[in-house]
Amino acid sequence: MTGEGEMLKATVSQSTQGDNSPNLNGDNITYSDTHIIGKFLDEIAEQRKLTESAQTCLATAQAQITDLINQNKEQFAQFMAMLQVMQTAKV
């Protein structure tokens, strides 16, 4: 603040120990942790089932839409053929 000394500290060290340390190798995992992980895995499995069900419904809907489009094309072709017959009958 007075303009003397270094502006920034050269190094900052941080260490964590005890119960708050992140542990990636699996040591110190409690029953509560495994219970929570189990709940998450169950939820993921349920979401996967719902996704598969939604995909099945979507595939069925897409097939129905394709059938309706084909029916529409056939009806339109029949309509156009009828118009042509009517046009030639007037002439």
The pLDDT value given to residue 9:
60
The pLDDT value given to residue 20:
54
Q: Is residue 10 part of a domain?
A: no
Number of domains in the chain: 1
Amino acid (1-letter code) at residue 80: M
What is the model's pTM? 0.52
Distance between CA 59 and CA 65 in Å, rounded?
10
Convert the pLDDT of each residue in 46-69 to its tens digit: 999 999 999 999 999 999 999 999
CB 22 within 8 A of CB 16: yes
Q: Is residue 7 part of a domain?
A: no
Residue 28 DSSP class: T
Convert the pLDDT of each residue in 7-46 to its tens digit: 666 655 555 555 555 555 556 778 788 889 999 999 999 9
Q: Is residue 44 part of a domain?
A: yes
Q: Which domain holds residue 38?
A: 29-90
56-82 CB burial, b ≥16 within 10 A, e <16 = eeeeeeeeeeeeeeeeeeeeeeeeeee
Q: Is residue 19 part of a domain?
A: no
